């Protein structure tokens, strides 16, 4: 009972080469020369990984990837593309392909890809076996309790030893995965956060580059780390770099490394971040800050999966998954000729958006609880600091241009200045920030007002909505596009009472 691969290619030599490689790795395999044969094999056998050529006599690899997604979405599919045809590879990954390999097939790259794909299936098999064991005993008694799920895990372990740098997950890693996906690290129960967690779980199953968008302070690096922690690469390095914090003249050395004597001050060989992230994940934060000459070199490194250290004469193969982020709109940067279109196309295979705090203000109480607990542990403080309802109301109506990072700083400052054991709205001093940010709150769900006419307009709008719903505040809040807490806060601030008409 070994893991089984499906090989699809109309060239017999390619099929034979891949089959020999997989056999030496201990995998079983079935081969097909076209998509019709492949569909038949899928209906007969259970596969753990699929390798398909892009161009086939009766269709193309992208069509087959879509078909696999409809009939067996958990089967990892890697496409085989012509050398340099990155557009086809990107298109396949956008449609759900796990990864790609270029012709002529690099055996080392192929082996590593298969190891990761089988590991991914091993994770799913372990979960399925765990769920099955809760309901019924295994009926395959002829194997004395050694079933297919255990066989896949056993194969993954052997591949790990074979490669010397495998990605077999441990029980601890699986526990971390459940904690992360269930929201223990990515705090919030709002609809945007639930959608974000679902996307993280999906993209973690692939090797496709992920582009993370969102304002500063929304947790883009945390999202990248969660993608890594829930991927087959989790046991290898996660390396992050802020591209805006490194001087442009040092960026090439930071990313690709350098050899001793290659420039003044290079007193020893140094490995670059691509090498440190080999078999793991490289997160490029604020990638829009890269100068154009480095964008060219980064594009080549991603496409060729190899790097050349500064002062080196040959390229070194690397296998690092690329995640990137920026608070800037890269499409605007491309239009302004500050960012290369081909690099943007290569980085933006899958896009994730990190929501701003004002778009999920209902998560503020949960976030406050999590942050307060962490700050208490860090300060070794046994006193439990509480947050009053009026303070939560004030935060629910504050713009938070710095998002979760600003919320953390706000609570840390309030804890230091509070008299007693309860943080009130006055302790937050949000009125100071509101006065300075009055002109920049165009995205806020409830704008601060100064003039009497503006206050009267706001009062009239709220009263009209309340009268319409017969003073059902929850219904009125929904009609106004506010949360119930926000509406209650505005009613208090404007002095509205039920007898007012």
Spatial CB neighbours of 291, under 8 Å, sequence gap ≥ 6: 248, 251
| pLDDT computed for residue 6 by the predictor | 95
| pLDDT computed for residue 316 by the predictor | 93
* CA distance linking residue 263 with residue 289, whole number of Å: 24
Report the DSSP pairing between strands 316-317 and 306-307. antiparallel
Question: What percentage of the chain exceeds 70 in pLDDT?
Answer: 79
- Split at pLDDT 50, 70, 90, the class of 123 is low
Q: Are 322 and 287 in contact (CB under 8 A)?
A: no
Report which of 150, 110, 121 is spatially closest to residue 25, judged by C-alpha positions: 110
- Split at pLDDT 50, 70, 90, the class of 136 is very low
- Please give the C-alpha separations between residue 164 and each of 78, 115, 126, in angstroms, as whole numbers: 22, 11, 23
Torsion 451-453-456-461 (CA) sign: negative
| pLDDT computed for residue 454 by the predictor | 55
Name all domains of the chain by residue range, CATH numbers in brackets. Answer: 4-135+145-163 (3.40.50.2300), 175-353 (3.40.50.300), 357-440 (1.10.8.60), 452-494 (1.10.10)
pLDDT digits (tens, 9 = 90+) for 173-215: 443 443 444 344 789 999 999 999 999 988 998 899 999 999 9
Tokens read off for 370:
């999590």
* CA distance linking residue 241 with residue 251, whole number of Å: 10
DSSP string, 134-145: TT-----GGGTT
* CA distance linking residue 209 with residue 361, whole number of Å: 30
pLDDT digits (tens, 9 = 90+) for 342-398: 899 899 989 999 999 999 999 999 999 999 888 887 777 777 788 999 999 999 989
Say yes or no to pLDDT of 140 above 60. Answer: no
DSSP 310: B
* CA distance linking residue 297 with residue 293, whole number of Å: 7
DSSP string, 227-292: HHHTSTTTTS-EEEEETTSS-HHHHHHHHHEE-TTSSTT--S-EE-HHHHTTTSEEEEETGGGS-H
Report which of 16, 400, 351 is spatially closest to residue 212, judged by C-alpha positions: 351
Residue ranges in 12-133 assigned as alpha helix (H): 12-24, 35-44, 61-71, 86-94, 107-133
Residue ranges in 386-451 assigned as alpha helix (H): 389-396, 403-417, 425-428, 430-436
Q: What is the mean pLDDT of residues 439-454?
A: 44
- Please give the C-alpha separations between residue 31 and each of 11, 64, 368, 411, in angstroms, as whole numbers: 11, 15, 56, 60
For the CA atoms of the chain, what is the radius of gyration?
27
Spatial CB neighbours of 165, under 8 Å, sequence gap ≥ 6: 236, 278, 279
* CA distance linking residue 200 with residue 327, whole number of Å: 19
**Cα 205 vs. chain centroid, distance in angstroms?**
11
Q: What is the mean pLDDT of residues 38-59?
A: 92
- Looking at per-residue pLDDT, the higher value among 42 and 104 belongs to 42
* CA distance linking residue 209 with residue 93, whole number of Å: 9
Helix (H, G, I), strand (E, B) or coil at 6: strand
Report which of 384, 295, 391 is spatially closest to residue 343, judged by C-alpha positions: 295
* CA distance linking residue 199 with residue 202, whole number of Å: 5
* CA distance linking residue 48 with residue 56, whole number of Å: 22
- Split at pLDDT 50, 70, 90, the class of 85 is confident
């Amino acid at each position: 009972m070994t893991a089984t691969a499906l090989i699809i290619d109309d060239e017999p030599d390619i099929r034979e080469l891949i089959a020999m490689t997989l056999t030496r790795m201990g995998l079983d395999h079935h081969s097909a020369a076209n998509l019709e044969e492949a569909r038949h094999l899928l209906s007969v056998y259970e596969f753990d990984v699929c390798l398909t050529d892009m161009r086939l006599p009766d269709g193309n690899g992208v069509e087959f990837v879509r078909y696999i997604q409809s009939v067996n979405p958990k089967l990892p599919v890697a496409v085989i593309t012509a050398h340099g045809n990155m557009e086809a590879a990107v298109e396949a990954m956008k449609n759900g392909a796990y990864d790609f390999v270029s012709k002529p097939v690099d055996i080392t790259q192929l082996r590593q890809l298969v190891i990761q794909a089988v590991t991914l299936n091993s994770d799913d098999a372990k979960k399925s076996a765990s769920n099955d064991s809760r309901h019924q005993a295994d009926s395959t008694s002829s194997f004395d309790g050694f079933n297919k799920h255990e066989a896949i895990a056993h194969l993954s372990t052997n591949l790990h030893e074979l490669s010397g740098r495998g990605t077999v997950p441990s029980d601890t890693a699986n526990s971390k995965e459940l904690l992360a996906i269930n929201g223990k690290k990515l705090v919030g129960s709002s609809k945007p956060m639930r959608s974000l967690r679902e996307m993280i779980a999906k993209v973690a199953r692939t090797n496709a580059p992920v582009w993370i968008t969102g304002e500063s302070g929304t947790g883009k690096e945390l999202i990248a780390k969660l993608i890594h922690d829930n991927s087959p690469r989790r046991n290898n390095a996660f390396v992050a770099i802020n591209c805006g914090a490194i001087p442009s003249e040092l960026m090439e050395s930071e990313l690709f490394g350098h050899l001793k004597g290659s420039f003044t001050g290079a007193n020893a060989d140094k490995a670059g971040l691509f090498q440190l992230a080999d078999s793991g994940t490289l997160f490029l934060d604020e990638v829009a800050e890269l100068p154009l000459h480095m964008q060219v070199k980064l594009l080549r490194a991603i496409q060729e999966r190899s790097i050349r250290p500064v002062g080196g004469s040959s390229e070194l193969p690397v296998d690092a998954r690329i995640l990137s982020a920026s608070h800037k709109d890269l499409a605007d940067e491309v239009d302004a000729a500050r960012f290369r279109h081909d690099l943007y196309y290569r980085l933006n295979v899958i896009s994730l958006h990190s929501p701003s705090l004002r778009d999920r203000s209902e998560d503020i109480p949960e976030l406050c609880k999590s942050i307060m607990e962490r700050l208490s542990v860090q300060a070794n403080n046994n006193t439990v600091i509480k947050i009053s309802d009026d303070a939560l109301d004030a935060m629910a109506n504050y713009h938070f241009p710095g998002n979760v990072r600003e919320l953390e700083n706000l609570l840390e400052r309030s804890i230091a200045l509070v008299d007693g054991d309860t943080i009130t709205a006055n302790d937050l001093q949000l009125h100071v920030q509101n006065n300075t940010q009055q002109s920049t709150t165009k995205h806020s769900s409830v704008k601060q007002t100064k003039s009497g006419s503006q206050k009267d307009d706001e009062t009239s709008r709220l009263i009209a909505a309340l009268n319409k719903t017969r003073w059902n505040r929850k219904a009125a809040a929904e009609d106004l596009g506010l949360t119930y807490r926000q509406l209650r806060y505005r009613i208090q601030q404007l002095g509205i009472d039920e007898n007012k008409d």
